[in-house]
Amino acid sequence: MLWGGRFQQGPDAMALRFSSSFHFDFRLLKYELKVNTAHVEMLNEIGIIEGKELVEITDGLNSIEDEFVKLGKSVEGEYEDIHSFIEKTLFDKIGSVALKIHSGRSRNDLVVTSVMMWMRENVNTLIKEIKFLQLIILRKAEAHQQVLIPSYTHLQRAQPVSLAFHMLSHIYKLERDIERLGFVLSQIDKCPLGSGAIAGSTLPLDRGSVGKKLGFSSVSENATDSTNQRDYILDMLHASSVGMIHLSSLAEEIILWSTKEWDFVKISEEFTTGSSLMPQKRNPDIAELIRGKTGRASGNYLSLSTTLKAMPFGYNRDLQEDKEALFDSFDTFYMSVKLMAGIINGLSFNEDRFVEELNNDFTLSTDLADWLVMKNIPFRKAHDLVGRIVLDCEEKKVSFSKMTLEHLKIFDQIFDASALEAISLRGAFERKKTTGSTNPEFVREEIEKWKRKLNLESA
């Protein structure tokens, strides 16, 4: 215990188990050892710890990580948290000089500093994995620029697009995930160590020196805010939640596309499972689990935001709930990103799946309406006119690909031979004019842009 001096008896055994955080905060071990080392070096610089004591303490701290690896989590029941483990282990190794490491430092500012350092390292690792997923998607897009698919709104066919164009849309979602994570990194760049429990310290601590040693650009300005606020964790949980929503949407598409009804993709065997009853089945379980785990990421954000909404000023033990949510959301997002990269890398596409259907569909109706707009017909009138043409075609079982000029002129004499080009799948993409459209030239430019951004050639 780090706090037992004014107590005459220890805590209830059940209460101790209930309040223990060792089973998840052991992940902070490496970072707390770095924080402790930087702190005692600074204490030596300001004369609180002598040179000989500094050597003893730092040597002891340097050996604790190996000690933990040797013992494993078998020591979990013995300690309230990882901080208790570090201090007790250090005391056992070097004696009472170990008690000096707490000078001018609270468990409150120690924890938030260690968490920020954990986040800095792991968020950067996550960003690298998201970029790798972008790269995998980009490779698939580049290889499938000529593959035609229907796009969907309301899960009904909308307009034809290229598979490459569609896949690029997911790269943009992932890029926003990276930007959100970049914001998280910007919020954990002020070192909170030296804030104490809530009000700072009477010791002449050199907070700037410690912050620099630990890789922070500056120090936090308000001790109470430093130990009380958890905005940066809430930001991380939000980023993880949105990121998982993006992955879930992608997973949903893959799941649908892999059904016999869609018959557009085949997922490699490494990322599918069989049925315990039906021998013929190949189920998209990993994609389904990514979709399913999105709920826990969103739940973690809601859980911590609910905890924080009624938090009075200063540190409260409720804040212990932040780390379990943080670690769980990170693990979920990180593993989902890596697995999604594997799924997409192993996808094979039925490239001719939609060609005949698109040739015999009405997905170019908007193109025909746009043709009328170019003939000075107001869009609402054009929309109504094309709608009546589609209705007539459906009743007569005639597709746009079988449409004749004579048939069009029944509806309006404005139609000429060029209208037939507007409802021909051939050249439909080239006719797109706007930046960001499915025009093949725009798509090629986008692919080249992302190749430069992701250094595809050297990956």
- Residues 339 and 431 occupy one common structural domain: no
**% of the chain at pLDDT higher than 90:** 77
Q: Which residue has the tokens 């290889």?
A: 143
- Residues 322 and 361 occupy one common structural domain: no
Collect all residues with Cβ–Cβ distance below 8 Å to 168 and sequence separation of at least 6. Answer: 137, 138, 141, 443, 446, 447, 450
- Residues 94 and 25 occupy one common structural domain: yes
Active-site residue set: 154, 275
Query: What tokens were used for 121?
Result: 């390292």
Q: Is 90 exceeded by the pLDDT of residue 202?
A: yes
CATH number of residue 86's parent domain: 1.10.275.10
Q: What share of the chain is helix, strand, coil (3-state, %, to 5)?
A: 65, 5, 30
Partner residues linked to 273 by β-bridges? 283
Query: What tokens were used for 24?
Result: 């998840």
The upper half-sphere exposure of residue 309, i.e. CA atoms within 13 Å in the direction of its Cβ, equals 6
pLDDT given at position 81: 86
Rounded Cα distance, 207 and 226, in Å: 13
Query: Can you say whether the dihedral through the CA atoms of 350, 355, 357, 362 is positive or negative?
Result: positive
Taking Cα atoms as reference points, which of 167, 343, 163, 351 lies closest to residue 268? 343
Q: Which residue has the tokens 């690029």?
A: 168
pLDDT given at position 433: 87
Considering 18-22, 296-300, 356-360, the range whose residues carry the highest mean pLDDT is 296-300
- Residues 167 and 270 occupy one common structural domain: yes
The upper half-sphere exposure of residue 303, i.e. CA atoms within 13 Å in the direction of its Cβ, equals 20
CATH number of residue 453's parent domain: 1.10.40.30
Region 214-227: mean pLDDT is 96
Rounded Cα distance, 160 and 440, in Å: 12
Region 56-73: mean pLDDT is 86
Query: What tokens were used for 321?
Result: 């709930």
- For residue 217, being part of any structural domain is answered with no
Domain total of the chain: 3
How many helices (H) and strands (E) the chain has is answered by 18, 6
The average confidence (pLDDT) of the chain is 91
- For residue 213, being part of any structural domain is answered with no
H-type helices in 310-345, by residue range? 321-345
- Residues 116 and 264 occupy one common structural domain: yes
Last residue of a domain, one of 355, 383, 406: 355
Q: Is 60 exceeded by the pLDDT of residue 101?
A: yes
Taking Cα atoms as reference points, which of 149, 183, 181, 184 lies closest to residue 164? 149
Using one digit for the tens of pLDDT, what is the confidence trace for 317-336? 888 889 999 999 999 999 99
CATH number of residue 150's parent domain: 1.20.200.10
Query: Can you say whether the dihedral through the CA atoms of 60, 62, 64, 66 is positive or negative?
Result: negative
Region 354-369: mean pLDDT is 90
β-bridge pairing 190-191 and 218-219: parallel
- For residue 202, being part of any structural domain is answered with no
Using one digit for the tens of pLDDT, what is the confidence trace for 239-298? 999 999 999 999 999 999 999 999 999 999 999 998 888 888 889 999 999 999 999 999
The pTM of the full predicted model, rounded to 2 decimals, is 0.91
Rounded Cα distance, 270 and 284, in Å: 10
- Host domain of residue 451: 356-458
- Residues 75 and 146 occupy one common structural domain: no
Last residue of a domain, one of 80, 103, 126: 103
Residue type, 142: E
- For residue 212, being part of any structural domain is answered with no
Taking Cα atoms as reference points, which of 242, 279, 281 lies closest to residue 260? 281
- Residues 18 and 136 occupy one common structural domain: no
- Residues 162 and 267 occupy one common structural domain: yes
Helix H, strand E, coil C: the string for 152-205 is EECCEEEEEEEHHHHHHHHHHHHHHHHHHHHHHHHCCCEECCCCCCCCCCCCCC
Instruction: Tell me which DSSP letter residue 214 carries.
Output: T
- Residues 340 and 432 occupy one common structural domain: no
Rounded Cα distance, 118 and 85, in Å: 18
Q: Is 50 exceeded by the pLDDT of residue 3?
A: no
- For residue 215, being part of any structural domain is answered with no
Lowest-confidence segment of 45-49, 280-284, 297-301, 339-343 by average pLDDT: 280-284
Q: What are the Cα distances from residue 137, in Å, to 87, 269, 403, 453?
A: 47, 19, 37, 14
Q: What are the phi and psi torsion angles at 35 (to 5°)? A: -65, -45
